[in-house]
């Protein structure tokens, strides 16, 4: 009897070992020459739903801890993950926003209707100075998206003057009158948003000419050179990139690209944020991986016109877009955030990092209470989402040097469809510490990755992991710590190789020290 038990145990273990999935990776320390811009970790907050109002910005006299009406728990959480920049005020809202309505005495500010998002009243209490205060508290760079769709060249020019000019002028006088004597010196400026759609339904030829007008009069004031970002393609509209590069070329610092992962691929019925099966999990990850093709193809077009890679590809809207939470305003785009979101974040950030020679900025849509958020709030409660935890793990890559990585990965297969189960990226920071980020998308299988590190000296390995048994697990207001980073002990040095056993549905960041 005892024999039989031992035999079956041995059989089970050998089947287990036989079925163990493996992947091979090679990190190339010799070809380390590209810096991963920290701006890849940028954020986006629009006047949309509960992102600003009832998100960052609390009502006058609120009991929720705040500084000048800016919610301090959110600020503290975001400071911990070092968000490098914040894009504002839109999105579609930007092309209907007139900045002068949002400065000066609040009681004098006109109200408007937010036609894009729910038809709600916008009281303009959060405007330019409040946004700059928020960026100051977050210690991040502002990225202002200017109105091209319904605004004027003069309006944008004056906004730049208001924010960036230190000398004597009507706009700097106005800024001083509003309590800010020194120029803010904002460098990131978006010239319109989605000009092919909500930003004016323009053709790319028309837009390129408009860009030149707006960009000309948006001046570089002393000590404040602008990084002008042109409104770019929707997803795989390669013609937009082609024409924009041909007509604008290096007159722009960056050209944007927007791509959202829609779980079902159907904008009419996108799928729930938490209530989905493996089939929908698979299609979501497949759609998320499409970012690799988009970035590769848009970059190849940009290479034709800008071989020196002076113009950045700026993916200033990305993330998963699901149906809204039941019972919430459809115009507010409020969605929960599950383990699937963490895998989307890890995978997308790996893609951006591996293309760091061209992708120099990206902005997750949107930081608080909208789409794929870092933070969700309910009255005075705040939840850090699985996406937040991935940004926390990955912050070690900010401004580090990319180490090119190649991977042979087993596939995650469902209903005869295949996607690579493992994706990764690696970098070396300024003190010589190497970090490797691995994502295992497989829903059920753990995968052992053996990594050869060429021209990398290291002795010890430590790790952190974000994982959960189910892809649709999430952090609720009742159970806010269900998914959070923990110590990862599944990696070791075996001879000269790094071997890591990645659990299914996991995002792991390893730290290799000399």
Q: Which of 46, 130, 194, 501 is catalytic?
A: 194
Helix, strand, coil percent content, the chain, rounded in steps of 5: 30, 30, 40
Cβ burial, residue 346 (10 Å; 0-12/13-18/19+) = buried
Nearer to ligand AHR (CB atom), residue 120 or residue 433: 120
442 is an interface residue for ligand AHR by CB under 6 A: no
Least distance from ligand AHR to the Cβ atom of residue 366, Å: 6
Q: Are strands 42-44 and 85-88 parallel, antiparallel or unpaired?
A: parallel
256: contact with ligand AHR by CB under 6 A: no
- Total chain residues near ligand AHR (CB under 6 A): 10
Q: How far is CA 499 from CA 5, 365, 426, 434, 494, in A?
A: 31, 34, 15, 15, 7
CB of 90 to ligand AHR, least distance (A): 5
Closest CB to ligand AHR among residues 117, 184: 117
Using alpha carbons, select from 444, 345, 328, 385 the residue that is nearest to residue 54. Answer: 328
Rounded CA gap, 86 and 103, in Å?
19
With respect to ligand AHR, which residue has the nearer C-beta, 161 or 323? 323
Least distance (Å) between residue 94 CB and ligand AHR: 8
Regarding 42 and contact with ligand AHR (CB under 6 A), the answer is no
Q: Is 257 in the site for ligand AHR (CB under 6 A)?
A: no
Which C-beta is closer to ligand AHR: that of 365 or that of 509? 365
Q: What is the DSSP letter of 495?
A: T
DSSP letters for 441-470: --SS--EEEEEEEET----EEEEEEEE-SS
Contact 367, 86 (CB under 8 A): yes
> Contact between 90 and ligand AHR (CB under 6 A)?
yes
Please report how close the Cβ of residue 122 comes to ligand AHR at its closest, in angstroms: 14
Among residues 171, 143, 156, the alpha carbon closest in space to that of 97 is found at 156
Query: Any catalytic annotation for residue 16?
Result: no
From the list 60, 57, 59, 49, the residue with the least C-alpha distance to 114 is 49
In the range 170-199, which residues lie near ligand AHR by CB under 6 A?
A: 193-194
102 binds ligand AHR (CB under 6 A): no
* Bridge partners for 312 per DSSP: 254
In the complex, the smallest distance separating the C-beta of residue 10 from ligand AHR, rounded to whole angstroms, is 55
> CA-CA distance, 374 to 395, in Å (whole number)?
14
Contact between 323 and ligand AHR by CB under 6 A: the answer reads: no
Select 95 or 501, whichever has its Cβ closest to ligand AHR: 95
- Where does this chain touch ligand AHR (CB under 6 A) — which range of 9-17, 90-98, 438-446, 479-487? 90-98
If one asks whether residue 92 binds ligand AHR (CB under 6 A), the answer comes out as yes
Question: Of 96 and 473, which CB lies nearer to ligand AHR in the complex structure?
Answer: 96
- Which of 365, 424, 436, 453 is in the footprint of ligand AHR by CB under 6 A? 365
Burial class (CB in 10 A: 0-12, 13-18, 19+), 50: buried
* Among the residue ranges 87-95, 224-232, 433-441, 457-465, the one whose residues contact ligand AHR (CB under 6 A): 87-95
Interface residues for ligand AHR in 370-429 (CB under 6 A)? Answer: 371
Number of Cβ within a 10 Å radius of residue 432: 12
Shortest Cβ 431–ligand AHR spacing (Å): 37
Residues near 481 by beta carbon (within 8 Å), at least 6 away in sequence = 475
E-state strands within 115-193: 120-122, 141-146, 188-191
The verdict on 95 binding ligand AHR (CB under 6 A) reads no
Binding of ligand AHR by 146 (CB under 6 A): no
259, 235 Cβ separation under 8 angstroms: yes
- For ligand AHR, give the closer residue by CB, 13 or 113: 113
The upper half-sphere exposure of residue 270, i.e. CA atoms within 13 Å in the direction of its Cβ, equals 18
Given the residues 317, 325, 417, 496, select the one marked as catalytic.
317
CA atoms within 13 A on the CB side of 160: 28
317 touching ligand AHR, by CB under 6 A? yes
Tell the smallest beta-carbon distance from residue 335 to ligand AHR (Å). 12
Q: Establish if 122 lies at the interface with ligand AHR (CB under 6 A).
A: no
96 binds ligand AHR (CB under 6 A): no
Q: Is 317 a residue of the active site?
A: yes
Residue 54 within binding range of ligand AHR, rule CB under 6 A? no
Smallest gap from residue 207 Cβ to ligand AHR (A): 15
Strands 42-44 and 486-488 turn out to be: unpaired
Q: Binding of ligand AHR at residue 91 (CB under 6 A)?
A: yes
Euclidean distance between CA atoms 446 and 449, whole angstroms:
10
3-state secondary structure of 511: strand
C-beta closer to ligand AHR: residue 337 or 366: 366
**55 is an interface residue for ligand AHR by CB under 6 A:** no
- Nearest residue to ligand AHR by CB is 91
Interface residues toward ligand AHR, by CB under 6 A: 46, 90-92, 193-194, 317, 365-366, 371
Active-site annotation, residues: 194, 317
């Amino acid at each position: 009897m005892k024999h039989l038990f031992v035999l079956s145990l041995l059989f089970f273990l050998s089947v287990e070992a036989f079925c163990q999935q493996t992947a091979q990776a090679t990190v190339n320390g010799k070809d380390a020459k590209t810096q991963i811009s920290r701006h890849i970790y940028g954020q986006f907050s629009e006047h949309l739903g509960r992102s600003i109002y009832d998100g960052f910005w609390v009502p006058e006299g609120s009991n929720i801890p705040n500084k000048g009406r800016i919610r301090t728990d959110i600020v503290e959480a975001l400071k911990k993950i070092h968000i490098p920049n914040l894009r504002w005020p839109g999105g579609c809202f930007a092309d209907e926003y007139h900045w002068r309505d949002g400065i000066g005495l609040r009681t004098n500010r006109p109200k408007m209707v937010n036609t894009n998002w729910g038809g709600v009243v916008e009281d303009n209490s959060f405007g330019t100075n409040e946004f700059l205060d928020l960026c100051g508290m977050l210690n991040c760079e502002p990225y202002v998206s200017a109105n091209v769709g319904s605004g004027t060249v003069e309006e944008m020019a004056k906004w730049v003057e208001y924010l960036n000019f230190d000398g004597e002028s009507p706009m700097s006088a106005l800024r001083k009158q509003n309590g800010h004597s020194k120029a803010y010196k904002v460098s990131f400026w978006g010239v319109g948003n989605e000009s092919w759609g909500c930003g004016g339904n323009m053709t790319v030829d028309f837009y390129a000419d408009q860009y030149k007008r707006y960009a000309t009069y948006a001046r570089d004031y002393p000590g404040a050179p602008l990084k002008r970002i042109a409104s770019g393609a929707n997803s795989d509209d390669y013609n937009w990139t082609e024409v924009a590069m041909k007509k604008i070329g290096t007159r722009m610092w960056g050209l944007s690209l927007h791509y959202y992962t829609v779980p079902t691929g159907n904008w009419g019925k996108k799928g729930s944020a938490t209530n989905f099966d493996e089939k929908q999990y698979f299609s979501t990850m497949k759609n998320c991986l499409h970012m690799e093709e988009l970035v590769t193809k848009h970059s190849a077009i940009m290479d034709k016109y800008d071989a020196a890679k002076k113009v950045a590809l700026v993916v200033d809207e990305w993330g998963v877009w699901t149906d809204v939470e039941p019972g919430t305003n459809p115009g507010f785009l409020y969605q929960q955030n599950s383990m699937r979101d963490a895998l989307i974040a890890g995978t997308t950030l790996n893609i951006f990092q591996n293309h760091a020679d061209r992708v120099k900025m990206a902005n997750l849509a949107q930081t608080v209470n909208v789409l794929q958020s870092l933070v969700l709030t309910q009255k005075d409660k705040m939840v850090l989402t699985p996406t937040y935890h991935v940004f926390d793990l990955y912050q070690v890559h900010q401004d580090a040097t990319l180490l090119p990585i190649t991977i042979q990965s087993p596939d995650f297969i469902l209903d005869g469809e295949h996607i690579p189960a493992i994706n990764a990226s690696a970098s070396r920071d300024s003190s010589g510490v190497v970090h490797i980020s691995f994502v295992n998308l497989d829903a059920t299988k753990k995968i052992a990755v053996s990594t050869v590190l060429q021209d990398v000296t290291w002795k010890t390995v430590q790790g952190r992991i974000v994982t959960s048994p189910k892809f649709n697990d999430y952090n609720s207001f009742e159970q806010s710590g269900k998914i959070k980073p923990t110590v990862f002990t599944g990696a070791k040095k075996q001879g000269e190789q790094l071997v890591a056993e990645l659990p299914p549905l996991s995002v792991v960041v390893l730290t290799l020290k000399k």
